[in-house]
Structure 1
Amino acid sequence: MLLFFTLGLLIHFVFFASIFDIYFTSPLVHGMTPQFTPLPPPARRLVLFVADGLRADALYELDENGNSRAPFIRNIIMHEGSWGISHTRVPTESRPGHVALIAGFYEDVSAVAKGWKENPVEFDSLFNESKYTWSWGSPDILPMFAKGASGDHVYTYSYDAKREDFGAQDATKLDTWVFDNVKDFFHHARNNQSLFSKINEEKIVFFLHLLGIDTNGHAHRPSSRDYKHNIKKVDDGVKEIVSMFNHFYGNDGKTTFIFTSDHGMTDWGSHGAGHPSETLTPLVTWGAGIKYPQRVSAQQFDDAFLKEWRLENWKRLDVNQADIAPLMTSLIGVPFPLNSVGILPVDYLNNTDLFKAESMFTNAVQILEQFKVKMTQKKEVTLPFLFTPFKFQVIQDLVVSVLTYPLSHFVGYLLAFTLGIEVLVLSFFYRYMLTAGLTAFAAWPFLTRLWTRAKMTSLSWTFFSLLLAVFPLMPVVGRKPDISLVMGAGLLVLLLSLCVVTSLMKRKDSFIKEELLVHLLQVLSTVLSMYVVYSTQSSLLRKQGLPLMNQIISWATLASSLVVPLLSSPVLFQRLFSILLSLMSTYLLLSTGYEALFPLVLSCLMFVWINIEQETLQQSGVCCKQKLTSIQFSYNTDITQFRQLYLDDIRRAFFLVFFLVTAFFGTGNIASINSFDLASVYCFLTVFSPFMMGALMMWKILIPFVLVMCAFEAVQLTTQLSSKSLFLIVLVISDIMALHFFFLVKDYGSWLDIGTSISHYVIVMSMTIFLVFLNGLAQLLTTKKLRLCGKPKSHFM
């Protein structure tokens, strides 16, 4: 049995790793010949402004008084340059956005996962091809372009990362720091002959990364006064920098200015997915080589933005984000970035037809060079007869034929099982399918004899199934913070705790004092969590940052959440309730709205599930030896007493998988970073730390998993079923789902389509693998017993 289990786990690891080898290998190739236009460029220097996190509508729209938040840039649109929308791709994050802007290609997920500063692979960029580049801004963005550059010609000036505090009083200081340092740099250059000579060369770039808008958006939302005021500050700063450049270079007409953004931001202050508020970013260009404004009478665009922005009479030129890189290279006459896939937007160029034609030809040759190198490399490592598109139709037909065959008296059960699997698969695309499944669960007792045998249990099952079915209908993202719902969830937990404490006080066993003390500690932890959530929210609204005491309490609560349950009684319901109290304290600290109620409702349904499964087992003629009130979790239970598998055990395993998927997608789509609200971790930290914040968010997601797995441990115990046998059924169900998603993986279409299909496969395969570890964690939480006083137990009870 152990050998079989180990072999199965190893196979799943291989399957899981295969998807990374197939899809998460960097698509970049090297060895191409640099391509550049032989004609003289229109500009000697280029200034690139990137306002991190700036939405297109936030820049272009007029305020309630009919005035622009960025009057200088709007004046550029109307009188000096060209404008449009830069369409970004997912993931709409800072690193891939800047890579697309400056290097001209869309970075693959494997590169993003390597971190914000380090480059997993070397790539060419506009900065590397320039004679010199000077950049100012965030330490998270600038180093990756300097480290990938050859030689010593890309210079970076960054502030301390601690400035990126979402709870800070004024995030606009991140932008004023950049503007002030650029002005100091040019003032210093007048007295430094070497530097003065460099900044008067041709083919040079100045990059200003402005992070204030993004930081204010995360902290206060894009509709806030802080976000909109930051746009005005950036507009003022750009105006000063442009004036300084024109004065410094004597208005020689050889400077090109480009103002854009790496990504937008949703109304709720997040980014990462493909909502238009995230993918539509502004692009305004002016100066050497750029067309002047073009007046038009009508324009053909599907959106209604032009009239809202009152820009319908100025020609809008939309581009893909990667197209900006070849535009910049052609303007200053440097070779196109070797890995660029951008297409030169010639409508922005104010030059001769010959220059445009040469630039387009150079762009085409540069992209063709990548294709040739990639094709050569692929042929070298692939057998000739395998160098053709592979078709899965024969395998698909075989799988379908096998699944539609296991005998006649199983047809009904097989159809229900197949329908259930399809509901699970569809729930990855449409969350409301979970609502449909839970509604069907609610009707289940009335379709069997359970209703006549256990009316209260059946009614409770129906009530909590329907209550849980509401959550998948709630918005995945876009929910506004509602601390009252978090407080309400905390009060419900306290009310349940009061009921448990009251029942404990009626007992007369020797461990009653210890049990009461444990529950009182957990009640205190819940009260403190509620206080910290309310206090932190009030402090941040007053822009006073995260109080240190709140931070200490939050981390202490998190650290103790897996230890305190081990002090409680191993009696089934008492231990499960203790686990719920501890994990809910942490979950409250990580909640911002309705999701705080989710694990509470899920746990109530889990408690009913344990009862209803025992009733089902007794109904089938298998007698349970103990009542639920007397059953204890025990690590050393004799496995020989367990019965053999029945057909109904497949349904129990399916229930587990369904509840796990519900825990996965019940309050959001965790396949998307966009579902993560940074406000969820503000009780723990507000200084930007992507890995720490990501870890906290992942633990928030895992808490419902742990609750389901602990309930499943109880189901196995109360139904007298071997955990290994039932767990193998769960693995089979997960593997069927994984096989389904394996055939849905795409290697064509948009980045979003490809990424979504891969993420679905990875999620299901991860579920299969991590069920093993979650099962181990659940066994630890349910069977381990520690003592508050006396010598602690060194073994499982």
Structure 2
Amino acid sequence: MGIPVFVFAGLLVHCVFLASIFDIYFTSPLVHGMTPQQTPLPPPAKRLVLFVADGLRADSLYELDSNGTSRAPFLILENTGSWGISHTRVPTESRPGHVALIAGFYEDVSAVAKGWKENPVEFDSIFNESKYTWSWGSPDILPMFAKGASGDHVYTFCYTAESEDFGAQDAAKLDTWVFDHVKSFFNSSRSNQTLYSALNEEKVVLFLHLLGIDTNGHAHRPNSREYKENIRKVDEGVKEIASMLENFYGNDGKTAFILTSDHGMTDWGSHGAGHPSETLTPLIAWGAGVNYPQRVASQFFEDNFLKEWKLENLKRLDVNQADIALLMASLIGVPFPLNSVGTLPLEYLNNSAHFKAESMFTNAVQILEQFKVTKHIVKRGKVSLCKTLINLALEGLSYYHTYDRLFLGLSIAMGFVGWTAYVILVIIKTHTNLTKESTILLYGFAFVGLIIAFFLLIQTCPWTYYVYCLLPVPVWYAVVKELHVIQDLAAYLLSLPVGQSMGFLLICVLGIEILVFSFFYRSTLTIGLLVFAGWPVITQLWVQAKTTALIWILLCMLLGIFPLMPVVGREPNIPLMLSIALSTYVVSSTHDSLQNKQGLPVFNQIISWTTLVSSSLLPLLSPTFLFQRLFSILLSLMSTYLLLSTGYEALFPLVLSGLMFVWINMEQEALQQYGLSLKPKLAVFNFSYATDIMQFRQLHLDDVRRSFFFENTGSFQKVLFDPASVYCFLTVFSPFMMGGLLVLKVVIPFVLVSCAFEAVQVTTQLSSKRYSKCYISALVGISHYVLVMSLTIFMMLMNGLAQLLTTKKLELSRKTKHHST
């Protein structure tokens, strides 16, 4: 198999492996065709008011401030309802959080990528089941429930997308906008008889989406004065709205209120993962049909928050986020959302035992509808049986939802192991011709493929199943076809001393495990770097180049500090940012402007985007001599990286690049162990003149060590979604643009390492194509599957980008003078 064909096949195979994980684990939980179910008894409330304080942490709302007073006195002290914590699920983002709250199910994570504001799939919700729903707030959230609703009864009032500016003076104005527009709306209804009549109907929902807390949390962090003051303003606004609505409806006692949040936020202003600060959100309910506060002598929760909040004597009622949709449906008497997987939290209801039993029965039948079961096995009034039935039905749903998971997982695992074995065989085999293919072997594998295809056909499986299940057939055929190579490898390994064989195996296993564990524990990378630091000591390099070896050890230890530090910086630290003067000025100026709440200066924004665009072109204008080209790449990319930094991480590329330059020198010193008489002089080495010199030597065990160096040194930086990193480019909320810039921040260190690795490849007189095979085969861990597959594909692309950046040179066009004769 030729090199281009091999690389293309490797890229294609790993793309299939990556895509398979979404069919195995991330399938949509939605099913259709159910009959709507609702409680037949009259509901306690005619209308429901839902406040969602986006990004509000439970502890931030319930805890006391520095003066020992509550920052939300109306919601906590004056409230006559029930309270608790709503437990959210990963990913803790706005879209899946609101879907769980309003539709009652945990959305397929791929829906976030398919569409943020609109629905990639249709689903039922409380809004859809209501008689009328009016909503106010963010254009990122409201439209997805309006466009998914049947008929014309869900109305939205949104501010402009430009209002969601992280650099604005005070993001609390977003919540003030909502409160003001709700008041104006009800005031105007008094002169609009049609609207007034609609507002007085039953089964009405009012949804107030409050984005100010989330925006202030991203911009200033949850422990900031802005975040905490925003909570006070929300408390005041909720109190005013509740009072206004009671007056509007003549204190009829038919209004139910719920305040909660879609997700929390970490101390450094990010969310999306599963830290308790992100998954613990408040839930407060009061009004028609809601239980009064329940006094208790004592209660215990593992988080030990109650004593800190001074709420140990008020019963805390925790729920799962999807349970809230059922609570809202029960309060106003609408059908439970068709795909809801929640359980009605009975303790929040202030109603008769009959009503609770009927509601639980409705919950059970609604779950059974999803399970496609029509057996009437529950007597009305037996709450405990209903709860058991709900759990059994949910287990059944989970069983059928994951029915093909084991089968597909085994198919992908066989394909993955076969591909890894094939790549290893291609790496180690010599340039001798392949043995003649066995026709019987070919027919045998073809017959197996036909059997698998027939099995999938009678099962009416989707076309992707054919790809996942048939892929192992040609892969294992290619492996078995190389039986002579396997025999040669076995003979070679048996001829090696036992100590050398075991040592090599131990190093391979240790390197892979460090790489896998680094996905879970970043500090593992520090251990790997300390191991790297000892490399010169156990080789001849300590004798050949002691000064260079000492610098290597020092830089490895310095680089090992970064995995021990927080994933993102807590506060910007301008003095640490040592790079190009203009980028430093832009970062400092932008930071000062945002601190003074003056927004993002236009000049700074222009400079930032210009620097980003030019950083990929400027290195191509420099000479292609090794150190000149690498230094040019560093300076160019460092400018962009600096603009995307908020603290200590600005030093990361400098330390990393220093280590890479030392690595190139040390690998060149190590060439003599191969018995080469000619070593390239690095000072005059030119990338553009480097040829593929694979005939000089074959692969060596030391080359596997080099591939591990490459993979581990390129895997240090992990960045969570932190808008503060992109403030030099934009401050108005744009999830995909901000995400793209953060991805670029992660890519830059990989580019630096890939360019250095390209230099190591050509200066150690080995084909760079062979190295691409080495690191394709090295990532053999199944753990953290998506990250491993993505990283493998990403490294292949980085290899191509590094060759482009190091070998190509843009020539400015010159006019040729023509002389007349």
Place the TM-score, normalised by the shorter chain, in its bin: 0.7 to 0.9
SS at structure 2 position matched to 1:339: coil
Moved more, 447-456 or 410-419: 410-419
SS at structure 2 position matched to 1:634: helix
1:94-105 alignment, distance < 5 Å: 94-105=94-105
Query: Offset of 1:619 from its aligned partner?
Result: 3.1
Cα pair 1:82 1:293 within 8 Å, conserved? yes
Q: Which residue of 2 aligns with 1:682?
A: 727
In 2, distance between residues paired with 1:51 and 1:12? Answer: 41
In 2, distance between residues paired with 1:63 and 1:375? Answer: 43
Q: Aligned letter for 1:184?
A: S
Query: Offset of 1:377 from its aligned partner?
Result: 11
Query: Offset of 1:229 from its aligned partner?
Result: 1.4
Q: Aligned letter for 1:691?
A: F
Same amino acid, percent of matched pairs: 71
Q: Which residue of 2 aligns with 1:764?
A: 788
Q: Which residue of 1 aligns with 2:469?
A: none
Does 1:623 find its partner at 2:668?
no
In 2, distance between residues paired with 1:388 and 1:582? Answer: 48
Q: Aligned letter for 1:697?
A: L
Query: Offset of 1:276 from its aligned partner?
Result: 1.5
- Cα shift readout 1:617-670 (whole Å, capped 9, x = no counterpart): 123322334211011101672546543222221211222122222xxxx243x5
In 1, distance between residues paired with 2:16 and 2:815? Answer: 44
RMSD: 2.7
Does 1:453 find its partner at 2:544?
yes
Distance verdict in 2 for CA 1:389–1:628, change over 3 Å: closer
In 2, distance between residues paired with 1:387 and 1:20? Answer: 11
Cα pair 2:257 2:285 within 8 Å, conserved? yes
SS at structure 1 position matched to 2:265: coil
SS at structure 2 position matched to 1:113: helix
- Cα shift readout 1:379-409 (whole Å, capped 9, x = no counterpart): 99999xx89878969989x979x99995242
Moved more, 153-162 or 303-312: 303-312
- Cα shift readout 1:101-120 (whole Å, capped 9, x = no counterpart): 10111112111112321211
Q: Which residue of 2 aligns with 1:467?
A: 558
In 1, distance between residues paired with 2:406 and 2:503? Answer: 42
Distance verdict in 2 for CA 1:651–1:535, change over 3 Å: same
- Cα shift readout 1:700-738 (whole Å, capped 9, x = no counterpart): 00000000110011011101111111111111112x13x
Cα pair 2:24 2:408 within 8 Å, conserved? no
Does 1:694 find its partner at 2:727?
no
Does 1:543 find its partner at 2:597?
yes
Q: Which residue of 1 aligns with 2:472?
A: none
Q: Aligned letter for 1:455?
A: K
Q: Which residue of 2 aligns with 1:755?
A: none
- Cα shift readout 1:347-383 (whole Å, capped 9, x = no counterpart): 0000001111111111111112212289999999999
Does 1:533 find its partner at 2:533?
no
In 1, distance between residues paired with 2:596 and 2:135? Answer: 34
Moved more, 562-571 or 364-373: 364-373
Q: Which residue of 2 aligns with 1:145?
A: 145
In 1, distance between residues paired with 2:531 and 2:326? Answer: 55
Q: Which residue of 2 aligns with 1:33?
A: 35
In 1, distance between residues paired with 2:399 and 2:667? Answer: 57
1:254-403 alignment, distance < 5 Å: 254-372=254-372
In 2, distance between residues paired with 1:391 and 1:97? Answer: 29
Cα pair 2:105 2:342 within 8 Å, conserved? yes
In 2, distance between residues paired with 1:478 and 1:57? Answer: 22
Q: Which residue of 1 aligns with 2:712?
A: 658
Q: Which residue of 2 aligns with 1:498?
A: none
Aligned residues: 720
Does 1:576 find its partner at 2:630?
yes
Does 1:716 find its partner at 2:761?
yes
In 1, distance between residues paired with 2:673 and 2:763? Answer: 14
Q: Please, which of 8, 11, 20 is the counterpart of residue 10 of structure 2?
A: 8
In 1, distance between residues paired with 2:809 and 2:417? Answer: 47
Q: Aligned letter for 2:86?
A: S
Q: Aligned letter for 2:672?
A: Q
- Cα shift readout 1:217-242 (whole Å, capped 9, x = no counterpart): 11111122211111111111111111
In 1, distance between residues paired with 2:347 and 2:568? Answer: 37
SS at structure 2 position matched to 1:37: coil
Q: Which residue of 1 aligns with 2:214?
A: 214
Cα pair 1:575 1:782 within 8 Å, conserved? yes
Does 1:790 find its partner at 2:792?
no
Distance verdict in 2 for CA 1:218–1:341, change over 3 Å: same
What 5-or-longer segments of structure 2 have no aligned partner?
374-393, 425-485, 817-821
In 1, distance between residues paired with 2:616 and 2:131? Answer: 56
Q: Which residue of 2 aligns with 1:552?
A: 606
Q: Which residue of 2 aligns with 1:423?
A: 514
In 1, distance between residues paired with 2:217 and 2:601? Answer: 21
In 2, distance between residues paired with 1:55 and 1:791? Answer: 65
Q: Please, which of 727, 733, 753 is the counterpart of residue 772 of structure 2?
A: 727
Distance verdict in 2 for CA 1:219–1:394, change over 3 Å: closer
In 2, distance between residues paired with 1:563 and 1:791? Answer: 22
Query: Offset of 1:23 from its aligned partner?
Result: 2.5
Distance verdict in 2 for CA 1:776–1:635, change over 3 Å: farther
Cα pair 1:617 1:623 within 8 Å, conserved? no
In 2, distance between residues paired with 1:149 and 1:219? Answer: 33
Query: Offset of 1:13 from its aligned partner?
Result: 2.0
Cα pair 2:690 2:762 within 8 Å, conserved? no
Q: Which runs of 4+ in 1 moved over 6 A?
A: 373-383, 386-391, 393-396, 402-405
- TM-score, normalising length from structure 1? 0.86
SS at structure 1 position matched to 2:322: helix
Cα pair 1:460 1:608 within 8 Å, conserved? yes
In 2, distance between residues paired with 1:168 and 1:700? Answer: 24
Distance verdict in 2 for CA 1:635–1:182, change over 3 Å: farther
Does 1:704 find its partner at 2:758?
no
Q: Which residue of 1 aligns with 2:478?
A: none
Q: Aligned letter for 1:730?
A: Y
Does 1:52 find its partner at 2:54?
yes
Query: Offset of 1:435 from its aligned partner?
Result: 0.8
What 5-or-longer segments of structure 1 have no aligned partner?
491-525, 742-759, 793-797
SS at structure 1 position matched to 2:123: coil
Cα pair 2:166 2:218 within 8 Å, conserved? yes
SS at structure 1 position matched to 2:200: coil
Q: Which residue of 1 aligns with 2:448?
A: none
Q: Aligned letter for 1:215?
A: T
1:99-118 alignment, distance < 5 Å: 99-118=99-118
Q: Aligned letter for 2:228?
A: K
In 2, distance between residues paired with 1:278 and 1:251? Answer: 37
Cα pair 1:43 1:254 within 8 Å, conserved? yes
In 1, distance between residues paired with 2:353 and 2:645? Answer: 58
In 2, distance between residues paired with 1:264 and 1:387? Answer: 32
In 2, distance between residues paired with 1:791 and 1:764? Answer: 50
Cα pair 2:48 2:255 within 8 Å, conserved? yes
Q: Which residue of 2 aligns with 1:499?
A: none
Q: Please, which of 626, 629, 644 is the counterpart of residue 590 of structure 1?
A: 644
Distance verdict in 2 for CA 1:244–1:351, change over 3 Å: same
Cα pair 1:267 1:478 within 8 Å, conserved? no
SS at structure 1 position matched to 2:36: coil
Cα pair 1:76 1:286 within 8 Å, conserved? no
Q: Aligned letter for 1:243?
A: S
Cα pair 2:104 2:340 within 8 Å, conserved? yes
Q: Which residue of 2 aligns with 1:440?
A: 531
Q: Which residue of 2 aligns with 1:564?
A: 618
Cα pair 1:474 1:667 within 8 Å, conserved? no
In 2, distance between residues paired with 1:382 and 1:89? Answer: 19
Cα pair 2:135 2:142 within 8 Å, conserved? yes
Q: Which residue of 1 aligns with 2:19?
A: 17
1:151-166 alignment, distance < 5 Å: 151-166=151-166
Q: Aligned letter for 2:805?
A: L
Cα pair 1:624 1:718 within 8 Å, conserved? no
